[in-house]
Amino acid sequence: MFRRTMTAAFALAIASPSMAATVTGSSNGLSYTASNSIVGTTGTGTQVAVPPGNPIYWATDAKYSGVVSLIMNRGAAGSFICSGALMADRMSILTAGHCVSDGAGTANPISTTAYFYNGTDPDLVTFQSPLATAISVSEYFVNADYTGQVIDQNDIAVLRLSQAAPLFAQGYGLYTNDLTGTDFNVTGYGARSSTGGNVGDDLGVGRRRQGDNTYDFRLGDSTINGALDFLSDGAQTDYTYLSDFDNGRRANDGSCILTGLVGVESYKFCNLGRGATEVSIAGGDSGGPSFVDGKISSVNSFGLTFGTETGDVDEELNSTFGEFNGFVPTSIHASWISSVLAVPEPSTWAMMLTGFGLTGMALRRGRRRTRVTFA
């Protein structure tokens, strides 16, 4: 599913993955590439593709109805796609900070639109379809500690909708427990793959997909003893969680190989994955949610590779087996998220309960000035 690397700024009708940001470096003999930008074990293509995409990755269940496609208009720079999730207040979208900001103090996009879809067509490109419900964003709340670095545990933002989400859309609560070793389900609208993790992200964005993985460890885990601190580049990263993209082979068990190389003597972080439903995020999945027990446990943030030395099947950052995904946990941001969620007005409650008044609500809220807040 996900890298922030983009290949071109397409016209408005076709969006690119979120704004490009890639970092490379080396330390203690390890070279790495990380980028903010679902590729399954097998193909995640369309029903009519040759070979067809595997339906185990479709995300048409009602439980995904609150996972939105976000299109950010940045004027001459083009339009870009991210993913996001509707919060329980039904007025706010949780996403990644890098989707709408280059760091504290930077301007928000010219405009952002959230696209909701509750149909059964797995191949619908949501932001291009009249079957989707489009709602504009009126306010941006970017975590004030977000530095703009690719790897940053504060890469998180809340977007306020100009009107309440459609009644069919599910709003989500937050999962706030520790994530190490926890299985999760992840979803987004990012790049897909024709055949799976041996090839990586070779198909376009805009179709919602989902799959499974496991949070292997966080960068600040005491067992690692600071050996991966070189990835921080000035940002806070102790609570950045990594998962690797497993194919069931020890030779590509990235977390096991990496932690062994930096001195972890136990097999605590070794596992061979979730089987056929294992996925990696890719470009355009940025900001999308991961779920534990039906609650949002993290926000999709970046992709990371150390090359073939830690099990990547190739030397590119392209969502192939052996690569890593990075996630921003909701647990450390729960208070901040709650502080910026909308307090429903009486008329909003009435609309939510009766289903009426949507047009009037849109007209009133449409007058609000779009603004960005670093809180």
Domains and CATH numbers, the chain: 16-339 (2.40.10.120)
Taking only the tens place, the pLDDT of each residue in 215-231 is 999 999 999 999 999 99
Which residue from 142, 143, 140 is spatially nearest to 162, judged by alpha carbons? 140
What is the arithmetic mean of pLDDT over 272-280? 94
Calculate the alpha carbon distances from 241 to 62, 159, 290, 302, 353 in Å. 27, 23, 12, 10, 38
pLDDT value at 365 more than 50: no
Entry pTM = 0.85
Say if residue 350 is exposed, middle or buried (CB neighbours under 10 Å; 0-12, 13-18, 19+): middle
List, in sequence order, every residue forming a beta bridge with 186; answer none if it has no partner. Answer: 211, 290
Taking only the tens place, the pLDDT of each residue in 40-61 is 434 455 665 657 778 888 899 9
Q: Which residues contact 50 (CB under 8 A, 6 or more apart)?
A: none
CA distance 54 to 108: 37
Residue 294: how many CB atoms within 10 A of its CB?
A: 12
Lowest mean pLDDT among 56-60, 69-73, 223-227, 327-331: 56-60
Cα-Cα-Cα-Cα torsion 76, 366, 101, 319, nearest 10 degrees, comes to -80
